[in-house]
C-alpha cells in the first residue's frame, strides 16, 4: 500500500487546481497582536461552542440537572435571610419580604461570582487544548459568561415565582435589569481575565480567588440592604464596589425598592471596572503568548 502512495502523489501534483488562498498570516516574535481582534471575530463561533459546551456539560453531568441551578440560590437565600434578617434583626424594618430582598441581590451576585470563578479556572482547566491548538485564548474566560447566564436565567425564573408568591408585581422598569446585568458581566470579565492569566503564571493564585469571592459576598449588599452603611466617605468607598450599584439596581428594577442606586460612586465604579477590564486584557494579551509554554 505504501509503495503506491508516491505514485498517487506525483499524479496529484499535476492536476492541482489553484485555489485562491484565503489569507496571508505572518507570525513574528512579539507581533501576534496585530491580527488579534480580527481573529477574535473570526473565531466567534468557537465562543458560542465553548459556552454551549460548558452549559451542556453542566446540565448533563448532574443527576438533578436544572434543580442544581435552583438549589444554590435557594440555600443561600435561606441562610442569608436567617443571618441578616432574623439574627441581625434587619427584617423588621423592611418593606418587602426579606427573602425577596436577598434573592434579588443573590441574582447578580451569583452570576458575577460564578463567572469570575469559572473564568479564573478556564485556562488551567483547558491546558491540553492550549498546548495543542491555536485559537484566541480570550475565548476561554469570555465564554464562561455563558454558563453564568444560563444559571442566572434559571434563578431569575425562581425570582419571578417568588414575586408572584409574595404578591409583588412586575413593573416595566424591570427591563432596567438588563443594563445592570451587563454591568455585572463586564465586571466579571474584567476580574476574570486578570485571574485567569494570573492563575496560569502563579499556580497558587487559585487559593486566593475563593477568599476574594467570599469577601465579596459580604462586602456587597447581598444579604442586607446597602443603606445599612452610614452615609459619608465610608458609604462612598463602599459604593465603589461595582456590585453594590448593580444589586441596588436589581432591587429597584424588580421590587421597586425606593432606595435606588447611589449614582455618583456607581459611575465612578463603572469607570474603575473599565480600567480593570482594559488592564486585564492588556495583561492577558501579554501573558497569552506564553500560555502554551507554561501551562
Partner 1 sequence: MSSDPIITIEGLGKRYVIRHAARRAKDYRSLSESLARGASTLARKLRPNSRVGRYEQHRWEEFWALRGVAFEVAEGDIIGIVGRNGAGKSTLLKLLSRISEPTEGRIRLRGRVASLLEVGTGFHPELTGRENIYLNGAILGMTRAEIRRNFDGIVAFAEVERFLDTPVKRYSSGMYVRLAFAVAAHLEPEILVVDEVLAVGDLAFQKKCLGKMDEVARREGRTVLFVSHNMATLAALCQRGIMLDEGRVAADGPMADVIGTYQHALLERHADSGADPAGQYSEEHGIGIRSPRAAVAEAPDGTSELRIEFVLHADNPFREVQIGIEIQTYNGVRIAELPPKMTGFIVENLTDPLHCVLTCRDVRRYLAGGDYTVRIFLRKPAEMLLSADDLVRFSLDPLDLYDLGTTFEQGRHGLVPLRFDFACEESAR
Which parts of this chain interact with partner 1 (CB under 8 A)?
Answer: 1-3, 5-6, 8-9, 11-13, 15-19, 21-30, 32, 43, 45-46, 49, 52-53, 56-57, 60-61, 128-135, 198, 200-205, 208, 289-290, 292-295
Closest CB to partner 1 among 16 and 233?
16
For residues 4 and 92, which CB has a smaller minimum distance to partner 1 in the complex? 4
Using the minimum distance from each CB to partner 1, give the nearer residue, 3 or 230.
Answer: 3
Q: How far is the CB of 277 from partner 1 (least distance, A)?
A: 22
* Minimum distance, C-beta of residue 145 to partner 1, in the bound complex (Å): 17
Identify the CA nearest to 152 among candidates 105, 111, 117.
Answer: 111
Nearer to partner 1, 130 or 255 (CB): 130
User: For residue 102, what is its C-alpha cell?
Assistant: 436577598
Q: Closer to partner 1 at the Cβ: 60 or 92?
A: 60
* CA count, 13 A, side-chain hemisphere, 30: 0
Q: How far apart are CA 191 and CA 242, in angstroms?
A: 12
- Cβ contact 259:251 at 8 Å: yes
Tell the smallest beta-carbon distance from residue 153 to partner 1 (Å).
21
In whole angstroms, how close is the CB of 286 to partner 1 at the nearest point? 11
CA–CA separation, 270 vs 216, rounded Å? 17
Q: In angstroms, give the least distance from the CB of 13 to partner 1.
A: 6
- Dump the DSSP string for 254-280: HH--TT---HHHHHHHHHHHHHHHHHH
Q: Distance between CA atoms of 181 and 109, rounded to whole angstroms?
A: 10
Amino acid at each position: 500500500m505504501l509503495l503506491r502512495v508516491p505514485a498517487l502523489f506525483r499524479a496529484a501534483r499535476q492536476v492541482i487546481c489553484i485555489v485562491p488562498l484565503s489569507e496571508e498570516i505572518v507570525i513574528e516574535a512579539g507581533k501576534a497582536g496585530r491580527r488579534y481582534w480580527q481573529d477574535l471575530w473570526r473565531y466567534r463561533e468557537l465562543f458560542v461552542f465553548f459556552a454551549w459546551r460548558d452549559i451542556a456539560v453542566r446540565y448533563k453531568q448532574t443527576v438533578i440537572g436544572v434543580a442544581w441551578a435552583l438549589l444554590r440560590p435557594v440555600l443561600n437565600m435561606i441562610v442569608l435571610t436567617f443571618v441578616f434578617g432574623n439574627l441581625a434583626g434587619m427584617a423588621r424594618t423592611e418593606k418587602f419580604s426579606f427573602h425577596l430582598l436577598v434573592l434579588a441581590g443573590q441574582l447578580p451576585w451569583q452570576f458575577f461570582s460564578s463567572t469570575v470563578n469559572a473564568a479564573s479556572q478556564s485556562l488551567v482547566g483547558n491546558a491540553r487544548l492550549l498546548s495543542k491548538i491555536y485559537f484566541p485564548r480570550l475565548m476561554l474566560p469570555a465564554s464562561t459568561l455563558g454558563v453564568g447566564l444560563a444559571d442566572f436565567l434559571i434563578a431569575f425564573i425562581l425570582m419571578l415565582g417568588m414575586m408572584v408568591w409574595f404578591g409583588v408585581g412586575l413593573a416595566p422598569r424591570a427591563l432596567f435589569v438588563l443594563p445592570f446585568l451587563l454591568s455585572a458581566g463586564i465586571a466579571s470579565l474584567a476580574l476574570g481575565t486578570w485571574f485567569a492569566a494570573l492563575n496560569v503564571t502563579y499556580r497558587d493564585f487559585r487559593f486566593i480567588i475563593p477568599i476574594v469571592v467570599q469577601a465579596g459576598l459580604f462586602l456587597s449588599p447581598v444579604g442586607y440592604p446597602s443603606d445599612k452603611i452610614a452615609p459619608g466617605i465610608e458609604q462612598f468607598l463602599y459604593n465603589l464596589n461595582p456590585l453594590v450599584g448593580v444589586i441596588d439596581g436589581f432591587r429597584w428594577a424588580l421590587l421597586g425598592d425606593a432606595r435606588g442606586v447611589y449614582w455618583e460612586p456607581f459611575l465612578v465604579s463603572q469607570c474603575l471596572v473599565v480600567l480593570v477590564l482594559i488592564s486585564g486584557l492588556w495583561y492577558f494579551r501579554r501573558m497569552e503568548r506564553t500560555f502554551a509554554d507554561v501551562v
